[in-house]
Structure 1
C-alpha cells in the first residue's frame, strides 16, 4: 500500500519576505538617512532665501494696509512663497518669480533699502554688471522709476548668477564621479593582477610583458595629470570648461595621448636615442625583476628567504613612461630637438 510522502517543511512567503526585510533593513535605513540629509542640504539655502522674501512681503502688506491699498497686492506671490510639502522638492524658480513680482509692488524707500543688500551680494559674487548698475542707481538725476528698473535688472542678474553657479556645481560633481570611475577602472584591475602574481610567487612571469607595464604607466601618468588639473581648477571651473576638458571624449583622448607618449619614450630608450644617468641602460640582457635574499633574525631563530624586487633599469623605465604620459610637451619637445639636430648638418653643408 502506497504511503503519501510528506513534503519537507517550507517557509511561507510572508516568512521569507520578513527575512529579506530584516537583511535589507540596515541598507534601507542608510539609504533613507542619506536621502534625508541630501534633501535637508537642498532645503537650507532655499529656506534662507524664502525667509528674506517672506519678510519683504510682510513689509509690503503692512504698508499697503496702512495706505488702504490691499487690493493692489499680487495674489500670485502668496502661492509662489507657499512652503512645499515633504514630498515636493524646493524650487528656486518660484522664489525668483516671487522676488521679481515683489519688486513691482515695492516703494522707492523699500527699493533703496533692499538694493543695498543686493549690491553687496553682487560685489561679493563679482558680478560683471555691478559697477555700471551701482553707478546708475546712485546718480542724482535718477528717479524712482529708474531705480526700480535698475533694481529689477540687478535681481535678474543675481538670479542668473545663482543658476549658473548651481549648474557649475552640478557639472563639477558629474566630472568628479567620471574621473573616479576612470580611476577605479585603471587601478583596481592592475592591483588585483599584481596581487594575484605576488600571491602565486610568479612575478617573474610578468617580465615578457614589460611593454604592457610601460603603456599602463603612460595611462596612469595621463590620468594623474587630469586629476591634478581638476583639483587645481575645481573651485573656478565652469560648465563649458568641464564639457571641453573633462568630458568622456576629452579624458579618453588624453589617455590615448599618454599611452602613445609612453610607447614613444620606450622606443627612444631602447633605441638609445636618449641617454644619461637618469635613463635606464636598456639592452637585450636587461631584466625586469632581480632576486634578492634577506635574513630575518629573531630571538634564537634565523630564517632566510628570497623575494623579487623591481630592477633599477626597469624602475627608471616605468618612471620615464609615467612622465611621458603625464607631460604633454616632453615628447613633442624631444622630437623638435631631434629635428633641429638632424637639419643642422644639412644646413651647414648647403652653406
Structure 2
C-alpha cells in the first residue's frame, strides 16, 4: 500500500511536468507543494519561468486530481458491482448506467433543456447525471417486480434498460441536424479529462471520497454477497436491501464521474480483477487496493493520452480500452484470478 501511494505521488509530479511545455521535475514538485499548501511549503525562487506556475496550478493539477478521483471512483464501483451481482465481468456500467448517461448527454447536446438558467449552465453534465440516476432507478424498479431484486434480475434488467436507452440515443442522433453536436457527442462518449478545472474538483472529490469512505466500512457485507443469498440468510443479512442501497450509491458516484469526464471504460472491470489476483478476494484488502491501483492506472492513462501523439489530446477512453482489452484477454486465457472465497 505504501509502495502504491509512493508511485501515485511520483506519477502525479511526473504528470504535471510533461506536455506541450516541458517543466523540470524538481520545479514541478516545488510548484505543487507551494500550490497545495498555500505557500507554506515549496519555494518559487528556482522556477525559471513564471508561466510554469500558471500551467501547473491552473491547468495540469486539476487534471491530475480528476484522473486520481475518477480512477478511484470507477475502481471502487467496479469492485462493489462485481460483489452485488456476483459476476466477475461486472463493471460500473453493467446496470445500464452508461446507456442512461449517454442518452442524457446526447439529449442535452443535440436537443437541449430549454431556456432555464440552471439547465443552460449545467448543460451536458446535468443531462448525463440525470440520465444515469433515472436509468438506475428504472433498473431497480424493474428488478423488484414480482419479488425481491436478485443479482440475476438486476443484470437482466440492466441489459434491457440499457438497450432501450441506446435505441433512444441513436434515434436522437439520427434526427438531429447538427454536425457539430454529433461530433461533441462522439468525443464525449470516448471520455476525456480536458474539461477538468478547479471549480469542478470539490463536487467530484466530495462524492467520490464519501463513497470510498462508506464502502471501505462495508467489507463484511460485500464478503457475504460473494457467498450468495442462502448463506446470507443464515447469517441474518438481507442482501436485497443492501443491493438496492449499493446500487443507488454507485449510480450517484458513477453518474457524477460520467457527467464530468464522459464514458471511460475498462477501469472498473480490469482494476478489481488485477487487485483480486494480487491481494485476494477479501474486501477489507481489496477495496483500498482497488482505490489506489485505479487512481494510478487512470493517471498513467491520462499521461499517455496527452503524450502519445504530438500536440493531440486523445480521448482517455481510447487509451483505457487499448490497455484494458489485451490485459483482460490475457487474464481470461491464463485464468490468473479467482472470484469469491
Per chain length, whose mean CA-contact separation is higher, i.e. which structure has more relative contact order (CA < 8 Å, sep 6+)? 2
Greater per-residue strand proportion: 1
Identify whether the pair has TM-score above 0.5, normalized to the shorter chain.
no
Q: TM-score, normalised by structure 2?
A: 0.21
Task: Name the larger-Rg structure.
Answer: 1
